[in-house]
């Protein structure tokens, strides 16, 4: 079992493979760093001027509290944007040819922001052209533990030359969905099974959607046959983000279990839509799968 120390240069990407995919993951934030299929890189590779990360783990929140402050009972805590896990060094629990599992346990540092004794496992498994991500959360404390979990995966936009305006989201079935952000803004997002994409869509920050009926959502292009298809049935929310600057050639598609739906009274973890509370000693797990085509 490996233990990495932040900043010591020992955090090497681990590689897992299937017959079609080569995948790299890192212990910092249990972060997916690269997914290649037939020589095509699907993930944004990071740029500090736009978004320096690729796909960190988000726990125990996805998004933010408006003041970055929340309460457990009457006690106030600071919770950074997208939670505490993305900047923590996970242990490598298991590493095989096609699977890598990471684990993060509560520490003095995490308890200062999130006063619950948790264990969080993140497992990546590559099979054919699919990557399955499984989260397992355990409550090692003696009180109920509220949380949400997800990822912040950035894909290259566009994946290949053809212009970002050729890209769109396709839903498995026709939908009528609003999008919203943490500040109370709402707008119709999709009516039908297709949503064209543009940087202008993100002038009002993240667009999040819930109430999705489709088993999968695909990110693809009219200019070529490549894309990703996200099977997210156990993750009822999808946050979508990029910068409104066309030079930011990325789009983040973030399957998640809970989210801030724009209620200004959201001051507790339990207030977040979809929040899960584990009783003492309980565990929870859920998965989503991404197809790369």
CB atoms within 10 A of CB 142: 10
Q: Which domains does the chain have, with CATH numbers?
A: 14-292 (2.70.98.10)
| Cα separation, 237 vs 234, whole angstroms | 9
pLDDT at residue 261, rounded to an integer: 72
**What digits encode the pLDDT tens for the residues 240-257?**
999 999 999 999 999 999
124, 132 Cβ separation under 8 angstroms: yes
Total residue count of the chain as it appears in this document: 293
The per-residue pLDDT for 269 is 95
Query: Which uninterrupted H or E stretch holds 118?
Result: strand 118-127
Helix or strand holding residue 108 (H, E): helix 108-113
* pLDDT at site 131: 98
The tokens for 139 are 């409550």
pLDDT along the chain (293 residues), means of 10: 34 94 98 98 95 97 90 96 97 98 98 98 98 98 98 96 91 96 89 96 92 97 96 95 95 95 81 96 98 98
Look at the alpha carbons of 41, 47, 260, 85 in this order and tell me if their dihedral is positive or negative. Answer: positive
Contacts of residue 9, defined as CB under 8 A and 6 or more positions apart, other chains included, come to none
User: For residue 12, with 0-12 CB atoms within 10 Å meaning exposed, 13-18 middle and 19 or more buried, which class applies?
Assistant: exposed
Q: What is the pLDDT of residue 264?
A: 64
Report pLDDT for 1.
Answer: 32
Residues β-bridged to residue 168: 196, 220
Tokens (6 digits) for 192: 């039908």
Instruction: Reply yes or no: is the peptide bond before residue 200 cis, omega within 30 of 0.
Output: no
CA atoms within 13 A on the CB side of 181: 13
């Amino acid at each position: 079992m490996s233990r990495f120390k932040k900043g010591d240069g020992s955090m090497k990407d681990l590689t897992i493979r299937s017959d079609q995919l080569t995948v790299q993951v890192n212990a910092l934030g249990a972060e997916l760093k690269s997914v290649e299929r037939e020589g095509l890189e699907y993930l944004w590779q990071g740029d500090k001027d736009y978004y320096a990360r690729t796909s960190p783990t988000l726990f125990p929140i996805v998004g933010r509290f408006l003041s970055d402050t929340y309460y457990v009972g009457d006690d106030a805590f600071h919770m950074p944007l997208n939670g505490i896990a993305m900047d923590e060094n996970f242990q490598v629990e298991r590493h095989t040819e096609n699977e890598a599992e990471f684990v993060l346990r509560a520490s003095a540092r995490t308890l200062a922001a999130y006063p619950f004794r948790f264990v969080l496992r993140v497992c990546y498994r590559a099979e054919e052209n699919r990557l399955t991500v499984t989260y397992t959360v355990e409550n090692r404390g003696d009180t109920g533990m509220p949380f949400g979990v997800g990822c912040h995966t950035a894909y290259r936009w566009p994946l290949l030359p053809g212009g970002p305006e050729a890209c769109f989201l396709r839903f498995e079935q026709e939908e009528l969905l609003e999008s919203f952000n943490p500040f109370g803004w709402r707008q119709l997002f999709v009516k039908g099974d297709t949503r064209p994409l543009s940087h202008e869509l993100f002038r009002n920050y993240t667009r999040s959607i819930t109430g999705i009926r489709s088993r999968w959502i695909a990110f693809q292009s009219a200019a070529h046959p490549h894309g990703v298809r996200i099977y997210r049935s156990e993750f009822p929310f999808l946050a979508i983000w990029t910068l409104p600057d066309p030079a930011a050639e990325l789009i983040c598609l973030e399957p998640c279990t809970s989210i801030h739906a724009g209620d200004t009274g959201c001051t507790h973890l339990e207030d977040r839509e979809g929040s899960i509370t584990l009783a003492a000693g309980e565990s929870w797990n859920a998965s989503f799968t991404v197809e790369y085509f």
